[in-house]
Amino acid sequence: MHQVHIIGGGLAGSEAAWQLARRGVRVRLSEMRGAGDTTPAHQGDGLAELVCSNSFRSDDDEKNAVGLLHHEMRRLDSLVMRAGELARVPAGSAMAVDRDVFSAAVERELAALPTVEIVRERVDTLPATGPTIVATGPLTAASLAQDIGAATGQDSLAFFDAIAPIVHRDSIDMSVAWMAARWDKGGKDYINCPLDKAQYEAFVDGLLEGEKVAFRDWESDTPYFDGCMPIEVMAERGRETLRFGPMKPVGLDNPHTATPEHPAGRWAHAVVQLRQDNKLGTLWNMVGFQTKLKHAEQVRLFRTIPGLENAEFARLGGLHRNTFLNSPLVLDRQLRLRGAEHIRFAGQITGCEGYVESAAIGLVTGLMTAAELRGEAWQAPPRTTALGALLSHITGDAEAETYQPMNINFGLFPPLPDVPKKARKEAYTERAKTDLGAWLSARAAVPA
């Protein structure tokens, strides 16, 4: 008999299950994929499948907020960080993974725990009793989403999330493209495809004129999340927008243009970057190229990019609607549903954005639930830490009226106005690591 029911086997649900089971709690982990159901974005039925990018973003824990979050999760024995190291592929200073190896590692680790029962089943309603964690993510099944909406007493918010295409490595023309990281930082981990001004202008025209996926009536008022903006929507904001975003050429010397005066080569007018997507290095995703163009338009337009004239696509871009709760309004400081405190929410459905953030909230939710089962008062991580800052944003620091999905960033941390701006990021991380250490030391007296 389980003690905690976790609904959803994505990043957050898997992380919560791991944290609970490692503390001796019996968990039933329900995942609808594999039971005849799926979502518009998933390809398989593996736990913790990555459906968009394969990157957990920067792993720099000295002056980058998401890198700091990586560090804190590792300190708390995160399953996602553990599996991520096993599945890691080259990506400069970023942490990117082979998505199949990653998912298999998560499922293998959980299946090996005697207190975890993985059940392939769809859950259509919120359980009336018993400790429950809902971690169904932004693609929650319609029946359960309706029940959650009824329980919260209001409509959930929603936004669109677009998926970037993946290209077969051997179809890229490396006589045109070249390997490099921006400013040569982190090794030659990206494939770069250069565009001159005429090619860039033609590409923007193609984006603006290309046939897009039609909206359904119920999707027409759904906003995009800025962190996953489709490239054609960026292009609509101005013809130069892409050159200051995913197609930024700055810091990328093209060796194919080397001259005696410029032996390293010149910068292109614009650059498309591709990042390794699997350990074999056979698949590469187009960085920042989320799109809602129709598939035929994608193939036609992306093959106008120098180096991708003969590109073969393992996956084309797509579009799906994400849903999330207005958490500051409907959840308490322990992520419990107001009026039904036996239910906690975790992951992207709470309104955090990003793989790492989703897993981090799953981790914290597992710790909260374990403490509750032991009859202990929950002490949240300090707001000066990445975990504490993200949790505080979700559970009350944000304005309910304007609540939107949020990646971890230093703007969520208590400010350090007396520290010079250039030294502020390092100061944030130093303070966070010190305060997390103190928090962990206090928790060490608590039996696991």
pLDDT digits (tens, 9 = 90+) for 307-329: 999 999 988 988 767 788 989 99
Task: Please write the tens of the pLDDT for every residue from 219-245.
Answer: 556 667 666 788 998 999 999 999 999
Task: Return the pLDDT at 89.
Answer: 96
Task: Return the pLDDT at 443.
Answer: 82
Task: Return the pLDDT at 405.
Answer: 78
Task: Return the pLDDT at 215.
Answer: 62
Task: Please write the tens of the pLDDT for every residue from 374-416.
Answer: 999 999 999 999 999 999 999 987 777 778 778 899 989 989 9
Could you tell me what percent of the chain has a pLDDT over 90? Answer: 68
Domains and CATH numbers, the chain: 4-156+325-443 (3.50.50.60), 163-321 (2.40.30.260)
Task: Please write the tens of the pLDDT for every residue from 34-57.
Answer: 777 777 667 778 999 998 789 999
Is 29 a residue whose pLDDT tops 50?
yes
Burial class (CB in 10 A: 0-12, 13-18, 19+), 128: exposed
Could you tell me what percent of the chain has a pLDDT over 70? Answer: 94
Task: Please write the tens of the pLDDT for every residue from 58-72.
Answer: 999 988 999 999 999
The crossing angle, in degrees rounded to 10, of helices 65-75 and 424-443 is 20
13 marked among binding-site residues: yes
Task: Return the pLDDT at 258.
Answer: 87
At 110 the three-state DSSP class reads helix
Is 337 a residue whose pLDDT tops 90?
yes
The answer to whether the CB of 120 falls within 8 A of the CB of 33 is yes
Task: Return the pLDDT at 222.
Answer: 65
10 marked among binding-site residues: yes
11 marked among binding-site residues: yes
Please enumerate in sequence order all residues whose Cβ is within 8 A of that of 66, keeping only pairs 6 or more positions apart, or say none.
56, 57, 58, 354, 356, 357, 386, 407, 408
Q: Is 18 left (phi over 0), alpha (psi -120 to 50) or beta?
A: alpha
177 marked among binding-site residues: no
Question: Of 2-11, 110-119, 276-285, 286-295, which range is least confident?
Answer: 276-285
User: What is this structure's pTM?
Assistant: 0.80
Question: Of 57-61, 216-220, 248-252, which range is least confident?
Answer: 216-220
- d(CA 205, CA 210) in angstroms, rounded, equals 8
Task: Please write the tens of the pLDDT for every residue from 150-207.
Answer: 898 766 567 666 788 999 999 999 999 999 999 887 678 999 999 999 999 999 999 9
When pLDDT is cut at 50, 70 and 90, the band that residue 25 belongs to is very high
Task: Return the pLDDT at 218.
Answer: 47
375 marked among binding-site residues: no
- d(CA 185, CA 204) in angstroms, rounded, equals 29
180 marked among binding-site residues: no
Max CA-CA distance within the chain?
75
Is 216 a residue whose pLDDT tops 70?
no
Is 434 a residue whose pLDDT tops 90?
yes
What average pLDDT score do residues 25-30 get? 98
Task: Return the pLDDT at 447.
Answer: 43
What average pLDDT score do residues 328-341 get? 95
The answer to whether the CB of 116 falls within 8 A of the CB of 29 is yes
318 forms beta bridges with 163
